[in-house]
Amino acid sequence: MAGDILFNKIAFIGIGLIGSSLARVIRRDGLAGSIVACARTEQTRQTALDLDLADSATGDVAEAVNDADLIVLCTPIGAYGAIAKQMSAALKPGAIVTDVGSVKRSVIEAVTPHLPPGVHFVPSHPIAGTENSGPEAGFDSLFEDRWLVLTPEPGTDEVAVEQVAELWRRTGSKIERMDPDHHDQVLAITSHVPHLIAYTIVGTATDLEDRLKSEVVKFAASGFRDFTRIAASDPVMWRDIFLNNKDAVLEMLGRLTEDLSGLQRAIRDGDGDGLEALFARTREIRRSVIEAGQHIPPTPPGGDASDD
Amino acid sequence: MAGDILFNKIAFIGIGLIGSSLARVIRRDGLAGSIVACARTEQTRQTALDLDLADSATGDVAEAVNDADLIVLCTPIGAYGAIAKQMSAALKPGAIVTDVGSVKRSVIEAVTPHLPPGVHFVPSHPIAGTENSGPEAGFDSLFEDRWLVLTPEPGTDEVAVEQVAELWRRTGSKIERMDPDHHDQVLAITSHVPHLIAYTIVGTATDLEDRLKSEVVKFAASGFRDFTRIAASDPVMWRDIFLNNKDAVLEMLGRLTEDLSGLQRAIRDGDGDGLEALFARTREIRRSVIEAGQHIPPTPPGGDASDD
């Protein structure tokens, strides 16, 4: 079904890894009449044009959304409120606003108050990514076989929801609908806390004495490597995620630190049986992840995902 | 230089992922006159023979080491003391004992007292691995471009050290010599604590309410995936590592939990600048890891390393 236009004009507000990957699919399959990219820096706008991700580029949000049928928010989520305010007056009736943010409740609270009646907000979250950032880092297979979570509020226009779902279906995503608060809880444990832990442990290593630090880098293949990859993700994006999913993150972190204290005690007390029992149990979860087909990291064309 | 025999007879005590990978290199390049595999279960012995990793297999440690020039301990390290005791009387003068354990001080303390005079102990640790276990999981390129750390005590016969180093060089490893205590500190932060954290977070997820748990598996692609892979590593092996590197692990864990409390506070207080500053800093470490060429995970022939 390539070549059928789903939206006449699509505006990307921010066009990094996720936005540019979606734009690539839209270009590849001819799903939009035209694409406009809105980015703060001239460099990003130029890159978007050079990569043919957009027909035009601007630094002005109101100009970008003018006459757009679909607006995709792809900036760090902390900027959503200000962006929604800036675009408010320029949105055309019937326009659909969506986003790709990793937190959903706070995003709904930040965006909804600024939307005029007749404009639909369909929050979405593609569960996909790599640790690389920027429009050059995107690739059109990023979303294949990944989950795409939609979290529209009750009462949202179903036609609008379906149009957003259809766009994501074309990327190869599997669509799931969820309550925004529940989404935020699930993501806190599967994504936000793991990232926080990776940032912490790599940060702890950064504070080591110089000699130890250089050896940590040298022997990173022993497990540390995976944490450095996760902890290389975009700092501003992640700052905003933690600030906007505070409650769920702190709750999951509380559970985690309790469990960690328990393990610490087991090591101190030499409780081998307790350690082994936990380590055997966690293997089962890995098996479930493999059975669910969620174990293989995405591979950009021409290289290892973990290779910059 | 393939085909020149480095040791007349090599005995593997335990032959899992690491032992079988080393055995594959020895077979491929003809580095041993003969190999004997010692394993507790009949199944492992049969697999080792079926895969042509050994010329003979036995469940008896003394029988395995009889007349061996090199003995490679490849069991979980908690078993080393008992094994050293069992092989003690059967070791021939001039024999070299080595191992592949992830902790070195406690291994030296467990093995050395049982070795008769004239037998050399050259502890080694290949910084390589996957989350898979057992003789089938091994592959001959596992050690290529990875570090191999030797931690012989002062006064160890230098000819014996060099013979062990040369064997590992043939696997493609880069050789490093280190003080055992220093090794244990470096590995605590690069490997042992990351594994402990991964086990903890996957364990925390295991304890979630059923609905949340199934969604954690479903959306594992968001970061959790990497932790489940690490937490799928061999439970007995890891139990022994934590019990045998208690001091260094607890010290590094102490630093980590302090840093984690700081981050927790930053999230609670909404300190965006503090979060962003840390997240930007950890990116640098990733760059160093990539520059050091330690960022690409090993790939067994015919598949993704993270694919069982």
Decide if A292 and B217 are in contact by the 8 Å CB cutoff. yes
pLDDT at A303 over 80: no
B236 phi, psi to nearest 5 deg: -70, -45
- Which CATH number is A183-291's, of 1.10.1060.10, 1.20.1630.10, 1.10.8.640, 1.10.3660.10? 1.10.3660.10
CA angle A53, A58, A60 (to 5 degrees): 140
Decide if B307 and A292 are in contact by the 8 Å CB cutoff. no
**Residue B293, both tokens:** 């060429």
Decide if B201 and A218 are in contact by the 8 Å CB cutoff. no
Q: How far apart are CA A99 and CA A74, in angstroms?
A: 6
How does residue A297 score in pLDDT terms, banded at 50, 70 and 90? low
Give per-residue burial for A78-89: e unless 16+ CB within 10 Å, then b.
bbbbebbebbbe
Give per-residue burial for A171-181: e unless 16+ CB within 10 Å, then b.
bbbbbbebebe
What are the DSSP E strand ranges found in chain B?
7-13, 32-38, 56-58, 70-73, 96-99, 120-126, 147-150, 174-177
State whether residue A91 sits within 8 Å of chain B by CB: no
pLDDT for the residue B301: 64
Range with the poorest average pLDDT among A123-132, A288-297, B82-91, B223-232: A288-297
Neighboring chain A residues of B147 at a CB cutoff of 8 Å: 218-219, 221
Q: How far apart are CA A249 and CA B264, in angstroms?
A: 9
- Domain spanning B7-178 has what CATH number? 3.40.50.720
A156 — alpha (psi -120 to 50), left (phi > 0) or beta?
Answer: beta
Decide if B189 and A212 are in contact by the 8 Å CB cutoff. yes
**Residue B55, both tokens:** 């010329």
Decide if A147 and B218 are in contact by the 8 Å CB cutoff. yes
Q: Which of residues 36-75 of A touch B (CB under 8 A)?
A: none
**Residue A269, both tokens:** 């007390």
Mean pLDDT comparison of A208-222, B159-173, B282-296, highest-scoring range: B159-173
Section B162-174 average pLDDT: 98
Decide if B230 and A223 are in contact by the 8 Å CB cutoff. yes
State whether residue A145 sits within 8 Å of chain B by CB: no
Q: Give how far Cα A124 sits from Cα of A131, A188, A275, A285, Å.
A: 20, 16, 39, 27
From A176, A212, A259, residue closest to B185, measured CB to CB: A212
Residue of chain B minimizing CA distance to A202: B282
State whether residue B159 sits within 8 Å of chain A by CB: no
Q: How far apart are CA A278 and CA A268, in angstroms?
A: 16
How does residue B180 score in pLDDT terms, banded at 50, 70 and 90? very high
How does residue A232 score in pLDDT terms, banded at 50, 70 and 90? confident
Which of these, B105, B116, B109, B90, lies nearest to B13 by C-alpha position?
B90
Which of these, A119, A245, A225, lies nearest to A180 by C-alpha position?
A245
* pLDDT 10s digits, B57-104: 999 999 999 999 999 999 999 999 999 999 999 999 999 999 999 999
* Best B104, B142, B184, B186 residue to mutate vs chain A (most A CBs within 10 Å): B186
* pLDDT 10s digits, A138-166: 999 999 999 999 999 999 999 999 999 99
From A186, A243, A267, residue closest to B272, measured CB to CB: A243
Domain ranges of chain B: 7-178, 183-291
Alpha carbons within 13 A on the beta-carbon side of A184: 21
Instruction: Give percent above pLDDT 90 in chain A.
Output: 74
From A189, A253, A283, residue closest to B264, measured CB to CB: A253
CA angle B183, B184, B188 (to 5 degrees): 120
Min Cα–Cα distance to chain A from B247, Å: 8
From B128, B147, B232, residue closest to A283, measured CB to CB: B232
Neighboring chain B residues of A215 at a CB cutoff of 8 Å: 186, 190
Neighboring chain A residues of B149 at a CB cutoff of 8 Å: 219
From B195, B278, B288, residue closest to A199, measured CB to CB: B278
* pLDDT 10s digits, A92-117: 999 999 999 999 999 999 999 999 99
Instruction: Give percent above pLDDT 90 in chain B.
Output: 74
Q: How far apart are CA A190 and CA A149, in angstroms?
A: 14
Cβ neighbours of residue A103 under 8 Å, at least 6 residues apart? A77, A184, A187, A240, A241, A244, A245
Decide if B218 and A253 are in contact by the 8 Å CB cutoff. no
Q: How far apart are CA A141 and CA A187, in angstroms?
A: 22
Q: How far apart are CA B62 and CA B248, in angstroms?
A: 33
Min Cα–Cα distance to chain B from A40, Å: 19
pLDDT at A173 over 70: yes
**Residue A72 amino acid letter:** V
Which of these, A175, A7, A198, A129, lies nearest to B282 by C-alpha position?
A198
Min Cα–Cα distance to chain A from B166, Å: 20
* Best A259, A284, A286, A287 residue to mutate vs chain B (most B CBs within 10 Å): A286
> CB burial class (10 A; 0-12, 13-18, 19+) of residue B4?
exposed
From B189, B205, B224, residue closest to A208, measured CB to CB: B189
Q: Is the pTM of this model over 0.90?
A: no
Q: Which of residues 216-275 of A touch B (CB under 8 A)?
A: 216-233, 235-236, 238-240, 242-243, 246, 249-250, 252-253, 255-257, 259-260, 263-264, 267-268, 270, 272, 275
